[in-house]
Amino acid sequence: MHRHDDDFAHRNPTIEERPLDAAGQSLADALRASFKILKGIMMVLVVLYLFSNVRCVQSHEQALILRLGRLLPGVKDPGLVWAFPYPLDEIIPLPTNKINETLIDSHTFHRREFEIGQPLNMISRDERRGLHPALDGALLTAESGLIHVRWNVSYRIKKVQDFVSNFFGDKTETADALIRVLVETFGIRVASEMTAEEFIRTRTDHVKSEMKRRINKRLDELNAGITVTMVEMIEQTPPLQIKGAFERTQRNENFKKKRIDEAKTEATQILSHAAGGIYPELLDLIDEIDKANSANQPTVELRKKLDRMLSDRVEGEANRVISEASAYHAVVVGRMQSDVELYRALLPEYERNPDGLIARLWERTQQYIFENPGVRKLYKPEGTKIRIQIPLDPDAERIDEEQRLQDRDFDVRNLLPRKRVIVPDSFGH
């Protein structure tokens, strides 16, 4: 009879483990230790690999992440930024707060090797030689003049996503090339809108602001992600061949402008002294009257307005002259009125007794002549003949009056009559 236990025992023989000798045991322990160390190193490498794409974004930077070549949305601010290891992710830091500068010399003259770094006043060109079209750059102005200028453009990154999308990474060489093209294009346009004098000297601020405005407008249209912060002009000058003539012309123009300004200042002082603060309004009114006269238009109302202005509002020397003229007018009118009243008072007496009135008036006149210190007197020696002119010589009086006016010693009291006919209190009634 066959037993199953015997079959099982036959199929599963007992394996007897023999103990290892000392050398084998040492080798087994070494292998186990090596595997543990290798396992640890691999774990460390895995951890390092997972954190291999950690980057510290500086305070003046912002960062973007590219995942499998595709730009992820969102911008990473300064600090620690983690991404999947390369080549899955790539961190692109961009100096958004850094000002980048590019120097553009496409519109200036060619400098020889020994002229590099020298100031503009140390460089000269032969007046008999023109510009070299293959070496010298220049701009053409509105009056067909030529000018040289170097540009220094400062810009910064405004939108990092647009910048990376358009310029393919964190390099600024492509951005510099774009800025150069825009400066060359708009420099030609701006120069063609003004004269060389305006471009070089009188409107430089306008040139710089206009260049900045046009460049930024075009950058916004291109979604370039950068903005120009400043445009500077360096060594703007006419061609060196004609620089001397240009400067001489400029000096003459400056001298002319200076003399014109001095003349305007002097005219303003004279007009202010003559009419006070209303002289601009007074001049405008006089010009309006002249235009009306030239056009044969009525000027009555304008002249009335001028008279009111002269009598009520004018100041300065004109006010003094008008006041003296008014006083002189009053004295002359008063004198004439006194003469009329005297004539009317003496006429009845003359009609009754002309000889007696004449005798009394002559006696009073003689008394006035000899007693008045303001009357010229001539003494006739005995035995001589002399001719006395009464009234006094009008030419002498005119000369005296002109001298007083010329000396500005003008007093209304001096206008009173120098001789006065004294009317008797009674005519013998």
Could you tell me which residues come within 8 angstroms of residue 193 by beta carbon, excluding any fewer than 6 positions away? 142
**Measured at the alpha carbon of residue 48, what is the angle toward residues 46 and 52, in degrees to the nearest 5?**
120
Q: Which one-letter amino acid corresponds to residue 221?
A: E
User: Among the residues of 168-242, which ranges form H helices?
Assistant: 173-191, 196-197, 204-222
Q: Which two tokens stand for residue 288?
A: 């309006």
Contact (CB, 8 A) for 149 and 139: yes
pLDDT at res. 130: 79
Q: Which two tokens stand for residue 190?
A: 């701006």
Q: What is the DSSP string of 120-146?
A: GGG----TTS---TTT---EE-TTS-E
Element of type H or E holding 92:
strand 89-94
Could you tell me which residues come within 8 angstroms of residue 232 by beta carbon, excluding any fewer than 6 positions away? 151, 152, 153, 154, 208
Contact (CB, 8 A) for 63 and 81: yes
Domains within the chain, CATH numbers bracketed? 30-93 (no CATH), 100-238 (3.30.479.30), 251-314 (no CATH), 317-415 (no CATH)
Tell me how far apart the alpha carbons of residues 402 and 398 are, in angstroms, rounded to a whole number: 6
Could you tell me which residues come within 8 angstroms of residue 316 by beta carbon, excluding any fewer than 6 positions away? 272, 273, 274, 275, 276
| Residues composing the chain | 429
By three-state DSSP, how is residue 43 classified? helix
Contact (CB, 8 A) for 398 and 321: no
Q: CA 242, 246, 248, 249 torsion: positive or negative? A: positive
pLDDT at res. 426: 43
Tell me how far apart the alpha carbons of residues 187 and 109 are, in angstroms, rounded to a whole number: 15
Say what the pTM is: 0.50
Could you tell me which residues come within 8 angstroms of residue 383 by beta carbon, excluding any fewer than 6 positions away? none
Q: CA 64, 65, 69, 71 torsion: positive or negative? A: negative
Q: By C-alpha distance, which of 147, 163, 145 is closest to 155? A: 163
pLDDT at res. 375: 64
* pLDDT, tens digit only, all 429 positions of the chain: 445 455 544 555 555 555 556 777 777 777 777 888 888 888 887 777 766 667 777 766 767 667 766 666 766 667 777 677 777 767 667 666 778 899 999 998 888 888 777 777 777 777 777 788 888 889 999 988 899 999 999 998 888 777 777 765 556 788 888 999 999 999 999 999 999 889 988 899 999 999 999 999 999 998 888 899 999 999 888 888 777 777 777 788 888 889 999 998 998 888 888 888 888 888 888 888 898 889 888 888 888 888 888 888 888 788 888 888 888 888 889 889 988 998 888 888 888 898 888 898 888 888 877 777 666 666 777 777 776 666 666 676 777 677 666 655 445 455 544 444 444 444 443
User: From residue 392, how far is each of 138, 193, 399, 403 by CA, in Å?
Assistant: 84, 76, 12, 17
